[in-house]
């Protein structure tokens, strides 16, 4: 598979989207999201797997609508994605959330009528790097069965927290399903099996075959505990935001964002000292044999630093972008 310099890949991918009719700024936002996922080691949300999906969205008209704020109380606002790109709506909402949280101390935003937003950890990281604590919840179409159930009703329903810290935010970003849908698709493509307790087949029976699971349902992590969290996220991102409680595939997704400026309660200096002290004490805890004590999110940031400036891409993506083995457009 070709290895392409990050800058060359960014330019080629943005150009391909613009050629398809996507606005230049939207293309930049989408491609940066995919590159971040790839460099973080989250290939299930990365450019090789997701770029073709976005081109299909463009063909279906997702590139036309422009997200807009439809209800605005300053510290609280509602963003209507108008069934366009979820990536763009979520990015624009995160930008506005930062500004509102800095102005009011606490801000909240509801996103409705969105398509797939990708990794909400990407937006939480962006907010935290601006000095704002982020809390986010997202839903999607049915992919996961309620604990004890035989068919899908819940989304994978990620929950995310991001705390400003040095050198990188403390990032808690996890699906409430035992495995993400993107990882499931990757395992199916690679012909790999699943660990037990991750999924059901079309008949509602446990399966370790990812191809069967794609026709069935995922299971929540932590059994009934993860299932309960998934219900909470479904309602926070759906009913509370004005989105459907159970959205249709690819549309009507909801996203709830809350931002708290890091000094809102005790001052930024106290926050920074307290977080630095916590990190020092946390990382000083002796590790068990064969294990590592690491902060949530640190694996992603470590992956980014180790990745260098070249990305391995699939042959299919290289063909889509018209790239040769040297990363140049043909």
Q: What residues are labeled active site? A: 44-45, 183
Cα(267)–Cα(105) distance, rounded to whole angstroms? 11
Is the peptide bond preceding residue 30 cis, with omega within 30 degrees of 0? no
Per DSSP bridges, beta strands 106-114 and 76-80 are parallel
Q: How many residues does the chain have?
A: 330
Per DSSP bridges, beta strands 68-72 and 206-207 are unpaired
Would you state the structure tokens that stand for residue 327, as one six-digit string?
A: 């990363």
Helix axes of 24-39 and 298-307: crossing angle, nearest 10 degrees: 100
Per DSSP bridges, beta strands 3-5 and 310-312 are antiparallel
Q: Is 25 helix (H, G, I), strand (E, B) or coil?
A: helix
Contacts of 73 (CB under 8 A, 6+ apart): none
Question: Measuring CA to CA, which residue among 315, 328, 327, 323 is closest to residue 48?
Answer: 315
**CB hemisphere CA count around 195 (13 angstroms):** 7
Contacts of 326 (CB under 8 A, 6+ apart): none
Cα(277)–Cα(243) distance, rounded to whole angstroms? 40
Q: Is 170 helix (H, G, I), strand (E, B) or coil?
A: strand
Measured from the Cβ of residue 236, the count of other Cβ atoms closer than 10 Å reads 22
């Amino acid at each position: 598979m070709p290895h392409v310099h990050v800058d060359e890949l960014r330019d080629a991918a943005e150009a391909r989207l613009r050629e398809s009719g996507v606005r230049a700024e939207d293309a930049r936002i989408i491609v940066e999201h995919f590159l971040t996922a790839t460099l973080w080691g989250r290939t299930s949300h990365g450019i090789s797997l997701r770029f073709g999906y976005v081109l299909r969205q463009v063909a279906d008209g997702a590139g036309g609508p422009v997200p807009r704020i439809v209800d605005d109380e300053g510290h609280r606002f509602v963003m209507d994605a108008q069934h366009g790109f979820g990536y763009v709506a979520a990015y624009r909402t995160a930008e506005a959330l930062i500004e509102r949280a800095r102005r009011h101390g606490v801000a909240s935003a509801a996103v409705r009528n969105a398509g797939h937003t990708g990794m909400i950890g990407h937006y939480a990281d962006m907010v935290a790097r601006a000095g704002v604590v982020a809390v986010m919840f997202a839903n999607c179409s049915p992919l996961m069965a309620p604990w004890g159930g035989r068919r899908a009703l819940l989304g994978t329903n990620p929950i995310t927290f991001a705390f400003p810290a040095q050198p990188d935010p403390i990032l808690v970003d996890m699906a409430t399903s035992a495995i993400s849908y993107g990882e499931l698709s990757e395992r199916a493509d690679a012909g790999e099996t699943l660990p037990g307790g991750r999924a059901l087949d079309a008949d509602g029976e446990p399966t370790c075959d990812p191809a069967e699971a794609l026709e069935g349902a995922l299971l929540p992590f932590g059994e009934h505990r993860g299932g309960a969290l998934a219900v909470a996220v479904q309602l926070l991102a759906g009913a509370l935001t004005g989105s459907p409680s159970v959205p249709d595939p690819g549309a009507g997704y909801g996203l709830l964002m809350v931002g708290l400026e890091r000094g809102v309660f005790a001052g930024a200096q106290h926050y920074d000292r307290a977080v630095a002290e916590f990190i020092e004490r946390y990382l000083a805890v002796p590790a068990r044999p064969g294990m590592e004590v690491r902060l949530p999110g640190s694996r992603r940031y470590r992956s980014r630093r180790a990745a260098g400036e070249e990305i391995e891409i699939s042959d299919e993506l290289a063909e889509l972008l018209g790239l040769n083995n040297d990363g140049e457009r043909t």
